[in-house]
Amino acid sequence: MPSTTLVVDNGSYTIKAGFTTDKTCITTPNCIARTRDKRVLIGQQLENCRDFGSAVFRRPVEKGYLVNWEAEKEIWDRTFLDSESKLKCDPRNTTLLLTEAPNAPSTLQTNCDQMVFEEYEFSAYYRCVGPTLIPWNNINTLYSPENPPPFSPPAEVVMVIDSGFSHTHITPIINGQLWNTAVRRIDIGGKFLTNYLKEMVSTRTWNMMEETYLINQVKESVCYISTNFNEDLEKCHSMKKSANDIVVDFVLPDYNSGKAGYRRPHVPKKHPAFGGNDEQVMELSDERFSVPELLFTPQDIGLAQAGIAETVMQSLEGVPERYRSLLLANIVVIGGNANIAGFLERLEMELRPLAPAESVVRIVKPDNPVTYTWQGGVALAGDKAEIKRRQVTRADYMEYGSLWCAKKMAGEISSVPGTGPTGAVEKENRSHKKKRMED
């Protein structure tokens, strides 16, 4: 039996991973970077980099799906096998719990299973859609932190809004299972917002088309979601910049001296406190809220998709009516975009008029929405009987193949051939097939 379980939330931007024994999540960049001085940095090596100027990033996960195992293997080797890594493990003595995005193509799933069992030789393995792990957390503490009611995982009904680096998914979870026909996707995530901000800034002030890392920092530092977009836009355009609190400055980093960039209140260039000619400053006004506004109005840039609030209602139409009010009352927002200021307030403001008048709309965000899926994986792995029922061992994979393993992890079959109610029939069929092949 494996002595340890490794939970890996393999995101597009970062890998959230850790062992169930110490319940400590380690966050590692899920990319390979090449700096302007031709150095190649893999995964956690980026944490020691001080010069990201014109850095080029190669990401193995695109649009939420793991499409480049050549790059991912380099990152995993550095993260899970390197002797200096905090997550160093012996795969042959480890159970792996790995997340994926909803509706992943079967070919990519098969490639993943092959790498896990044939390349790394993990002892046992369970691959699942990330949001399905959320109900294993004690979500009652999010709604009633001081006096939470008793909780028996998994939570019966949860609507998960996962807005991450590549996309935004609306995923209803009922009785611990993904209601797949109601899953909805918006093709806007953190990467899209960063690229849009790059274009706006490059058109108005500095040319930042090659500074993806820096602009991502700017986005995380200054952007917010407005609860009154037209009013904020009017304030930026009609009033003097010095007379409103929306305009801010971002002082650009100096990679030569090691000085990091930072946000500050707006200071006019002629003001004595500006900082002199040595200081390069990016002035941001309506970009602060115009960029994340795309999460709620993708049609502003010609994308033929609804915003988050409308997509939630579209998702609800795909589940039985008896669950709809329960889902509206149990909405959990996760992913990096959930940290944008004003996200929850704007979502509730737009969703409340769309929901039935008799329904309660409750939207919560965990303290760390980026690692909350990983925490749910740890909780699931702590239920020994449940994880044993779901996982596939390497011996099973080698004997029954990847197709059978995929069905087992998807919950379509519950036992190995020969051990369930129809086991005798399956065993006999295999025997006849083997005899025909010998003949």
16 and 76 in a single domain? The answer is yes
Question: How many domains does one find in the chain?
Answer: 3
- C-alpha 309/C-alpha 358 separation (Å) is 18
172 and 303 in a single domain? The answer is yes
The answer as to whether 323 is a domain residue is yes
Q: What is the mean pLDDT of residues 342-364?
A: 96
Q: What is the mean pLDDT of residues 265-275?
A: 68
If you average pLDDT over each of 3-7, 33-37, 63-67, which comes out highest? 63-67
- Give 419-437 pLDDT, tens digit per residue: 544 343 344 444 434 444 4
| 150: DSSP letter | P
Say what the pTM is. Answer: 0.90
User: Among 365, 396, 420, which residue terminates a domain?
Assistant: 365
Q: What is the mean pLDDT of the chain?
A: 89
Pair of tokens at residue 319 = 């589940």
The answer as to whether 396 is a domain residue is yes
- C-alpha 94/C-alpha 359 separation (Å) is 45
- Can you give the pLDDT at residue 205? 84
The answer as to whether 429 is a domain residue is no
211 and 177 in a single domain? The answer is no
Q: What is the mean pLDDT of residues 261-287?
A: 78
Of residues 54 and 367, more confidently modeled: 367
Confidence of residue 147 (pLDDT cuts 50, 70, 90): confident
The answer as to whether 37 is a domain residue is yes
Range of the domain at 108: 4-133+369-410
9 and 117 in a single domain? The answer is yes
The answer as to whether 356 is a domain residue is yes
Confidence of residue 271 (pLDDT cuts 50, 70, 90): low
User: CATH number, domain at 40?
Assistant: 3.30.420.40
User: CATH number, domain at 278?
Assistant: 3.90.640.10
- C-alpha 94/C-alpha 143 separation (Å) is 35
175 and 318 in a single domain? The answer is yes
**In the chain, % of residues over pLDDT 90:** 74
198 and 106 in a single domain? The answer is no
Task: Answer yes or no: is pLDDT of 172 > 50.
Answer: yes
Task: Answer yes or no: is pLDDT of 103 > 90.
Answer: yes
User: Among 268, 293, 318, which residue terminates a domain?
Assistant: 293
Pair of tokens at residue 275 = 């900082």
Q: What is the mean pLDDT of residues 396-404?
A: 92
Please work out, in degrees rounded to the nearest 5, the angle formed at the alpha carbon of residue 72 by the alpha carbons of 187 and 389.
85
379 and 400 in a single domain? The answer is yes
173 and 309 in a single domain? The answer is yes
278 and 306 in a single domain? The answer is no
- Can you give the pLDDT at residue 418? 57
CA-nearest of 158, 96, 51 to 391 is: 96
The answer as to whether 431 is a domain residue is no
Q: How many other CB atoms are found less than 10 A from the CB of residue 238?
A: 8
The answer as to whether 52 is a domain residue is yes
- Give 45-96 pLDDT, tens digit per residue: 998 888 888 889 999 999 999 999 999 999 999 999 999 899 999 999 999 9
| 34: DSSP letter | E
- Can you give the pLDDT at residue 240? 58
403 and 335 in a single domain? The answer is no
261 and 388 in a single domain? The answer is no
Confidence of residue 226 (pLDDT cuts 50, 70, 90): very high
The answer as to whether 420 is a domain residue is no
224 and 255 in a single domain? The answer is yes
Q: What is the mean pLDDT of residues 29-34?
A: 95
Q: What is the mean pLDDT of residues 246-263?
A: 88
